[in-house]
Amino acid sequence: MRIAICLFKYFPYGGIPRDAMKIAREAASRGHEVRFYTLRWEDELPEEFSVSVAPIDGLFNHVRYARFAPWLAQQMRLDKIDLVLGMNKMPGLDVYYAGDSCFEDKARSQRSWFYRLTPRYRHFSSFERAVFAPEASTTILTISAIQPAAFSHHYGTQAERFVPLPPGIDPSRAATKVSPAARAECRAELAVGDDEHLIAFVGSGFIKKGLDRLLIAMHTLPESIAPKVKLVIVGQDRGDAFERMVMRLGIQSRVTFLGGRDDVPRWLQAADAFVLPAYDETAGMVILEAMIAGLPVLVTDICGYAPYVTQSGGGLVCPTPFDAAQFNELLVEILTSDKREEWRRNAKALADNPEIYRLAQAAVDALEAAAERKA
């Protein structure tokens, strides 16, 4: 079978692109031919897959995306594609990987009525409807149990079209595979002493992942522990506004921006806690990666994988609606509680659950089933 994997942008530090590559490699291992189609490819070109970059420009993202869809439809015919997997919402998909939350839900709950008059809203709403409307036949791969309800509420999507996927941690990214010396090396690089606490924040998309909440909490830590708490931020994003925020808060001596990295497991190994106070996080693979590295974690309950924290007893979950004072207290607790060793053991035990590694296999199972129905 010839499979097209379509996404607007491929870059090596994003969760959705990484999942796309995992799925591609699993499909190829089963004898399928995989081709990527995108607007931008910001990484080395893979030797095992062909990559087609659309010759499309436009001043705004939604304009480029709108022009991408007809180009893609033409390429699918020319290249005789058997099955189209979209990692972003767009028309013409046989299967959609739901790595993002419901756009319509956010547009109506987090934006004013005026936003719904804009060209940007009309574009994203129409692309989402093309996937989820009852008259569509797209199979939808979900990565969080909370996803179907929102889409069904706004579009009336049939329940049988949703296929839940397990998590898909890449075993090679597990910090348990990293040399014990990495902890000392990384902490020395940041000048973090043995008697100090290092918090890790990992993610591309600083705004929606709640970096501002964490920076404010760093600023409000009690004087008794604040000087001994440092934060390392790993992720590819436009960080200028957040670097200015660090300066305004006066915490620049305790915060380090590392940018996007390929060695995330080393930095998880170096940390004492992982914190992700997200506003919007469909799943949060790095939450599980941090847990199997043995880190106590603190996340907001909006994260799709937050239930793994609660069920395993591997840390703390901040409830909705978000309360800054409560989050600040939880941050102090995750760093100083006498339960830390218990959280660490519970989190690390998650590594023994085989289901947390099966996303790619389950996704390709669903692709093969969709191809059978289409035939």
pLDDT digits (tens, 9 = 90+) for 312-368: 999 999 999 999 999 999 999 999 999 999 999 999 999 999 999 999 999 999 999
- Whether 173 has a pLDDT exceeding 70, the answer reads no
Q: What is the mean pLDDT of residues 148-158?
A: 97
Where is pLDDT greater, at 172 or 269? Answer: 269
Residue 69 identity: A
pLDDT in tens, 187-212: 999 999 999 999 999 998 999 999 99
Average the pLDDT over 62-81 and give the result. Answer: 97
Question: What phi and psi, each to the nearest 5 degrees, are found at residue 353?
Answer: -85, 110
The predicted structure's pLDDT at residue 335: 97
Does residue 2 carry a pLDDT above 90? yes
Q: What is the mean pLDDT of residues 145-158?
A: 96
Average pLDDT over residues 80-92: 98
Each residue of 214-247: pLDDT tens digit?
Answer: 999 999 999 999 999 999 999 989 889 999 999 9
* Amino acid at residue number 107: A
pLDDT at 178: 72
Put residue 80 in one of left, alpha, beta given phi > 0 → left and psi -120 to 50 → alpha. Answer: left
Residues β-bridged to residue 297? 274, 315
Domains in the chain, CATH or no CATH each: 2-166+358-374 (3.40.50.2000), 171-355 (3.40.50.2000)
pLDDT tens digits, 285-319? 999 999 999 999 999 999 999 999 999 999 999 99
Please tell me the predicted confidence (pLDDT) of residue 363.
98
Is residue 175 predicted with pLDDT exceeding 70?
no
**Rounded mean pLDDT of 245-262?**
96
For residue 271, pLDDT over 90 is answered with: yes
